[in-house]
Amino acid sequence: MARIGFVGLGNMGGPMARNLAKAGHAVAVFDIVPDLVARCVEVGATAAVSAAETARGAEVVITMLPAGQHVRDAWLGAGGMAGVSAETAILVDCSTIDVATAREVAAGCGRPFLDAPVSGGVMGAENATLTFMVGGPDSAFHCVEGILKQMGRAAIHCGEAGAGQAAKACNNMVLAATMAATCEAFVLAEKLGLSHQALFEVMSKSSGQSWSLTTYCPVPGPVPGSPANRDYAPGFAASLMLKDLGLAAEAAAQTGAATPMGRQALDLYRRFVEQGGGGTDFSGLIRMLRGTG
Ligand code: NAD
């Protein structure tokens, strides 16, 4: 069992840290919201008084924070976690942030550092079924792979620093574009008098098939567990999708990659969020496309 520091105990980090404590690790936790710390202490974690204190003496230190600035400040800011951690500690950031900041923090920490963003959402965090996409040194990845798999079902080493964030940006750009296209297909089918079920039956067995259709179908009925069946309660909120599309667009601009579909998806999700859809599941985009919400 390992000594683990964990900072950022929100919707994702809270259940992730609790899964590590339940697995028997000695987990020191910190969040600026005391109630979130208390929920982890209930299952055996230890409360730390600061982010830096979680890192002192830990073998593995993990952050799960909102955005790049929080991650940079936590690791590299005055009294930051990198400086107080043991030289042999392995540092892991699971937040979704931009590739450039991930590389900057990795270079500035002076310790083995992994960017390890996740896919799978809050349910995945609670049920320990997340997928980790990891960038950084091979040796560090192999040291923490077992710990990551106690919070998820897969951990994929994608390459050097920033490769995990790069994979996350690419994956979610495709997810947004396939969801938008799938929503459009159902709206067009409605106009043509084709039933949802008939279109689902055909597309799920044809070349229009995708995860957005068969796991996360944006109309109620064909896939009973999808957010469409509960009035588009998230799931994966449209505001988070907009954040991820912004990170993909930033990466595309910095590298000169042509991503016109990603840009189009960004514009659609920005409009949806501006119209009040930010707290809705991202498959709720279909309502905006129908002109009904
Ligand atoms: P959240 O806002 O629920 O949690 C973030 C936590 O960080 C909060 O509890 C906040 O109090 C804490 N925090 C902020 N600054 C801090 C500091 N300086 N020190 C200590 N704690 C601090 O967000 P979340 O939904 O848990 O998402 C976390 C990360 O995971 C984000 O980068 C997000 O993009 C990514 N992500 C989220 C989902 C999802 O479905 N929610 C899915 C995949 C990835």
Q: Is 289 a residue whose pLDDT tops 80?
A: yes
Check residue 224 and give its pLDDT.
95
Cα–Cα dist 235/112, whole Å: 33
Question: Average of pLDDT values for 240-253?
Answer: 97
Please report which confidence band the pLDDT of residue 82 belongs to, taking 50, 70 and 90 as the band edges: very high
**Tens of pLDDT, residues 21-73:** 999 999 999 999 999 999 999 999 999 999 999 999 999 999 999 999 999 99
CATH for 3-160 (3.90.1150.10, 3.40.50.720, 3.20.20.70, 3.30.300.30):
3.40.50.720
Using CA atoms of 273, 274, 276, 282 in order, give the dihedral in degrees to the nearest 10: -10
Check residue 126 and give its pLDDT.
95
Check residue 123 and give its pLDDT.
87
* Residue 201 tokens, joined: 């039956």
User: Measured in angstroms, how far is the CA atom of residue 65 from the centroid of ligand 1?
Assistant: 4
Check residue 99 and give its pLDDT.
96
CA distances 207 to 157, 201, 283, Å, are 29, 12, 20
Per-domain residue ranges of the chain: 3-160, 166-290
| Candidate from 12, 95, 165 with most ligand 1 atoms within 8 A of CB, to mutate | 12
Ligand 1 binding pocket (C-beta < 6 A) is 7-13, 30-33, 36, 51, 64-66, 70, 74, 95-96, 118, 121-122, 236, 240, 243
Beta strand 3-7 pairing with 60-63: parallel
Average pLDDT of the chain?
97
User: Measured in angstroms, how far is the CA atom of residue 205 from the centroid of ligand 1?
Assistant: 37
Q: Write the CATH number of the domain with boundaries 166-290.
A: 1.10.1040.10
Cα–Cα dist 81/93, whole Å: 12
The active-site residue out of 168, 191, 205, 243 is 168
Check residue 235 and give its pLDDT.
87
**Tens of pLDDT, residues 165-190:** 999 999 999 999 999 999 999 999 99
> Under the phi-then-psi rule, with left for phi > 0, alpha for psi from -120 to 50, and beta for the rest, what region is 239?
alpha
Check residue 175 and give its pLDDT.
97
Question: Average of pLDDT values for 218-228?
Answer: 97
Check residue 145 and give its pLDDT.
98
* Residue 179 tokens, joined: 């969801």
User: Measured in angstroms, how far is the CA atom of residue 277 from the centroid of ligand 1?
Assistant: 20
- Which residue's alpha carbon is nearest to atom 3 within ligand 1? 10
Q: Is 292 a residue whose pLDDT tops 90?
A: no
**Tens of pLDDT, residues 105-115:** 999 999 999 99
- Which residue's alpha carbon is nearest to atom 9 within ligand 1? 10
Q: Is 79 a residue whose pLDDT tops 90?
A: no
Look up residue 39 and give its amino acid: R
Is 168 considered catalytic here? yes
Q: What's the predicted TM-score (pTM) here? A: 0.95
